[in-house]
Amino acid sequence: MKYLIVGLGNIGSQYENTRHNIGFQTLDAFAKASNVFFESNRYADTATVKFKGRTLILVKPTTFMNLSGKAVNYYLQTEKTPLERLLVVTDDLALPFGTLRLKAKGSDGGHNGLKHINQVLGRQDYPRLRFGIGNEFGKGKQVNYVLSDWNEEESTQLEERIGQCQKIIQAFTTIGINRTMSEFNGK
């Protein structure tokens, strides 16, 4: 069984350790733990992980955040993956830092990457794993906040939270979304 795991982020070293790049950071950690490496491909850097009889195609779009739908649609078609086996890992301002929330569907919540995916796919009923980044910014400072690096306190907790994301991804591919939501959401 094949799964498409898409981590949202922006390419370039200036974005590497920013809140908006948690999708990339999660997939980088997942690939490293699986001893696989990303390769540059059309619209994305990709890596393939085998896990308990499943094939996980890890996708980090190189289209920049606001055009993520282009890469998602391309890999859904190329890998012939049904929508219910797509999981998008993204940052979420509405959740406190480190809160992880798996959802079967939902709105874009003002997130430009999800907005573009919804537009390109013409639907929003695909699974997503939202990583809370908090909303500690003043009026009009949202862009600066999401594109800034993790603070010292967040950085100390990041590895554990990303590890939890990896467990959620693994559970999603083995026990399904409903059991995974029951087991992990709210913890």
CA distances from 144 to 15, 18, 19, 153 (A): 12, 10, 10, 18
CA atoms within 13 A on the CB side of 68: 27
**Predicted pLDDT of residue 143:** 85
Domain coverage including residue 99: 2-184
**Predicted pLDDT of residue 61:** 97
- Based on the residue annotation, tell me whether 20 is a catalytic residue of this protein: yes
Residue 49: CATH number of its domain: 3.40.50.1470
Among 4, 5, 10, 20, the active-site one is 20
Burial letters 26-59, b for 16+ CB under 10 A, else e: bbbbbbeebebebeeeebbbbbebeeeeeebbbb
Q: What domain count does the chain have?
A: 1
Please report, in tens digits, the pLDDT of each residue of the chain (187 residues total).
Answer: 999 999 999 999 999 999 999 999 999 999 999 999 999 999 999 999 999 999 999 999 999 899 999 999 999 999 999 999 999 999 999 999 999 999 999 998 889 999 999 999 999 999 999 999 998 887 888 888 989 999 999 999 999 999 999 999 999 999 999 999 999 997 6
Report CA Rg, the chain: 15
